[in-house]
Chain A
Amino acid sequence: MKELKEELKNKIIKELNLGHLSVQDISDNDPLFKEGLGLDSIDALELIVMLDKDYGIKLNDPIEAKKVFESIENLASYINKNRLR
């Protein structure tokens, strides 16, 4: 799980163009949206694409997505349980 969290932090910085941040700036339980990393709705779409592309997970339920995208902790845990690759 620790490795997966690091991997996710690196991916989020790269794929969501958060060039002003480093992995150390993102805590496992920081909110990803609003007051946390400040991600927006386009970032949410980009995360959905990333889950599909990199882990074979299709996230279609918006209520579930809200919970999954709360933090790196939740995201890593969800990927760990549902990944196809």
Chain B
Amino acid sequence: MQELKKKQNIFHYCKIEKNFVLLNDKLIISEDKSILFSEFSKILYQQIKLNYPKFFKMDDLSKLALITSEYLLTNYFKKTKKPNDISIILSNKSSSLNTDKEFQKTIGNKDNYFPSPSLFVYTLPNISIGEICIRHKFTGENIFFISENFNSKLINEYASSIIKNGQNSIVLCGWVDFNKDNFKAFMYIASDNYLNKITTNYVDQLFK
């Protein structure tokens, strides 16, 4: 029990699924499962008092990524850290498929061919990382992996290499996936402190 408490003190994570938010094992909000993400995301926006109009212009994947990162960064990110000292490693299964399909609708008909610029800019999953970086002026390394399942080993090894070679001291890691109305986000903050004490098994258990 004491060991678990120790881990909780150094490992900060946020998980958002349909339709609840967990922050370090604590249920922050839970809404009816019938609520669509468009509505749920507005509830979360208000709860975290985001006050960031650009949020409404984002696609669902970026909204999910930004909100998850906000819960973590607002609560556990030390403002004294330099923005160029933070890297981001995210991953998912569906890439930007949700928005790709929406964009396809704007170019699918030869007689009604009006490609939407605002949809096109979100037809890459790593744009979600870009939105987090723009908001916080982060300039560290970032990468977005596409894989069938959450690969904590790969992500932790990547984060570890960034931290150990002195490139950055903090890495925001995780999974952010959106397809149709199914979504899941899981993010955690990796630091030197975390690398020595947390196993990938522990991370996998929290992800489930």
B57 within 8 A of A: yes
Q: Are B117 and A42 in contact (CB under 8 A)?
A: yes
Q: Which of B33-84 contact A (CB under 8 A)?
A: 42, 53, 56-57
Closest residue of chain B to A53 (Cβ to Cβ) is B114
Q: Are B114 and A38 in contact (CB under 8 A)?
A: no
Cα separation A43 to B119 with both chains bound (whole Å): 11
Give the residues in chain B near A53, CB-CB below 8 Å.
Answer: 112, 114
Contacting pair A43 B56 (CB below 8 A): no
The residue in chain A whose Cβ has the minimal distance to the Cβ of B41 is: A19
Instruction: Judge whether A84 is part of the interface by a CB distance below 8 angstroms.
Output: no
> When the two chains form their complex, are residues A49 and B56 in contact, meaning their CB atoms are under 8 A apart?
no
Q: Which of B99-130 contact A (CB under 8 A)?
A: 112, 114-118, 121
Q: What's the count of A-B pairs with C-beta under 8 Å?
A: 30
Bound-complex Cα distance A15 to B118 (A)? 9
Contacts of B42 on A, CB cut-off 8 Å? Answer: 19
| Contact partners of B56 in chain A: CB under 8 A | 17-20
User: Do A42 and B115 touch (CB < 8 A)?
Assistant: no
Chain A residue nearest to B119 (CB atoms) is: A46
Any B CB within 8 A of the CB of A45? yes
A15 vs B115: C-alpha distance in the bound complex, in angstroms? 13
Main secondary structure of the interface of B (DSSP, over half): helix
Q: Are B118 and A16 in contact (CB under 8 A)?
A: yes
Whole-angstrom distance between the Cβ of B107 and the nearest chain A Cβ: 11
Q: Is A52 positioned at the interface, with any CB of B under 8 Å from its CB?
A: yes
What residues on B are CB-neighbors of A46 within 8 Å? 116-118
Q: How far is the CB of A9 from chain B (nearest CB, A)?
A: 16
Cα distance A19–B63 in the bound complex, in angstroms:
13
State whether A17 touches B57 (Cβ < 8 A). Answer: yes
CB-contacts of A1-45 with B (<8 A): 15-20, 38, 42-43, 45
Check B114 against A17 for contact (C-beta < 8 Å): no
CA separation between A29 and B57, bound complex, in Å? 23
- Known contacts A17-B118, A45-B117; 8 further A-B pairs (Cβ under 8 A): A18-B53, A19-B42, A20-B53, A20-B56, A43-B118, A49-B114, A49-B117, A52-B114
7 closest Cβ pairs, A-B complex: A45-B117, A19-B56, A53-B114, A17-B57, A46-B118, A17-B56, A49-B114
A residues with CB within 8 A of B: 15-20, 38, 42-43, 45-46, 49, 52-53
Q: List 18 A-B contacts (CB under 8 A).
A: A15-B118, A17-B56, A18-B56, A18-B57, A19-B42, A19-B56, A20-B53, A38-B53, A42-B117, A42-B118, A42-B121, A43-B118, A45-B117, A45-B118, A46-B117, A49-B116, A53-B112, A53-B114
